[in-house]
Amino acid sequence: MYGLIFRFFFSRFDPEQVHHVVASGLNLAQRLGITKLFRLQSKDTRKVSAFGLTFNGPFGLAAGFDKDGTMILALADLGFSHIEVGTVTALAQPGNEKPRLFRLTADRALINRMGFNNQGSAKLAQRLAKLRASNKKLPVIGVNIGKSKLTPIEDAVRDYGTSTALLAPVADYLAVNVSSPNTPGLRSLQSIESLKPILEEVLSKAQGKPVLVKIAPDLADEDVREIAELAVSLGLAGIIATNTTVAREKLRTDAARVSMIGAGGLSGLPVAERSIEVLRILNKSIAGRIDIISVGGVESTGDVQMRLDLGATLVQGYTGFVYRGPFWARRINRDLAK
């Protein structure tokens, strides 16, 4: 049913407009008590322990879908064991010029160059504090932080520190995003020389909350190994692998259309192969010393189970939500529990 709705309705409209319509619909359904009808019961979930937290299933929502933490209750009702909100920046920012989100339906993929559009760390901190004060049952809430576009690269440490100080009190864990291709210069922060002081600053202001780092699939294998060793040596809780890719190989979508879309991060099934390669490298390098969250090209229960078998503690998805529909996470976590 959802496939028909997607093909004959959603696919006719701008993807970002559809996202806002879906977000509004989810929140309305949650307020009316409709989404609670689809909540997973405890018998339908498989508990997972990671970095001192307990998750109601191994499968959660990656950063990017709920940038400002406005849909957490509704998304939890739909079966995600954890919601990673963001990416959020110290300074509120509108993001890049529209259009900036594109579907590659033949590839079950998206290209985005959103540019960290968000209301800022202070606003998110207020929203999460209010949500926690409500005493409602919440999923594990991760907060993904990035560098503000207006902040020079040389001031990145301070920028990440500002967001951390604001958000650590209300986050279950923090994810340091240095791997989006849509903020100029951001990926240069993945070099060990640049990354180490950022992670040290975040750790110093995290108030004991678990800190993870999210890396790109486009890193060389040796760079992945170096970041893994850095993460272990600094005492990070884990690594999230991987973000979107700038590569455009092996796509089914017409090359002229892909070229016309232009720059941006590619997500979805085309990222799966490299995401799995990076997971294998990390698992061998880390050898169980810290946790790995695998993300990139995940669509089915089998995909999630394979990532778990390859050493991931948790798995996240995003693009599959667009193509599989609202009961996607519920189905996966329920099937894994069986």
The whole-number pLDDT of residue 184 equals 76
- Please state which of the ranges 11-25, 227-241, 259-273 shows the lowest mean pLDDT: 11-25
Contact 6, 325 (CB under 8 A): yes
Residue 93 backbone zone (phi > 0: left; psi -120 to 50: alpha; other: beta): beta
> 333 is written with which tokens?
């976590």
- Please state which of the ranges 3-12, 261-270, 283-292 shows the lowest mean pLDDT: 3-12
Query: pLDDT tens digits for 104-141?
Result: 999 999 999 999 999 999 999 999 999 999 989 999 99
The whole-number pLDDT of residue 186 equals 76
Look up the domain containing 270 and give its range.
2-337
Q: What is the mean pLDDT of the chain?
A: 93
Q: Is the pLDDT of residue 2 over 70?
A: no
Q: Is the pLDDT of residue 301 over 80?
A: yes
Structural domains counted in the chain: 1
CA distance 77 to 69: 15
The whole-number pLDDT of residue 40 equals 87
> 199 is written with which tokens?
């992670």
Query: pLDDT tens digits for 18-67?
Result: 989 999 999 999 999 999 988 888 787 889 999 999 999 999 999 999 99
How confident is residue 5, by pLDDT bands cut at 50, 70 and 90? low
Nearest residue to 332 (alpha-carbon basis) of 297, 303, 291, 290: 303
The whole-number pLDDT of residue 241 equals 95
Average pLDDT, integer, range 149-178 = 96
The catalytic site residues sit at: 180
Cβ-Cβ contacts under 8 Å for 102 (sequence gap 6 or more): 15, 110, 111, 112, 261, 264
Name the percent of the chain lying above pLDDT 90: 84
Contact 230, 198 (CB under 8 A): no
Q: Is the pLDDT of residue 10 over 70?
A: no
How confident is residue 75, by pLDDT bands cut at 50, 70 and 90? very high
CA distance 97 to 211: 31
Contact 142, 175 (CB under 8 A): yes
Average pLDDT, integer, range 201-215 = 97
How confident is residue 188, by pLDDT bands cut at 50, 70 and 90? confident
Name the percent of the chain lying above pLDDT 70: 96
Residue 18: CATH number of its domain? 3.20.20.70
What phi and psi, each to the nearest 5 degrees, are found at residue 325?
95, 180
Overall size of the chain counted in residues: 338
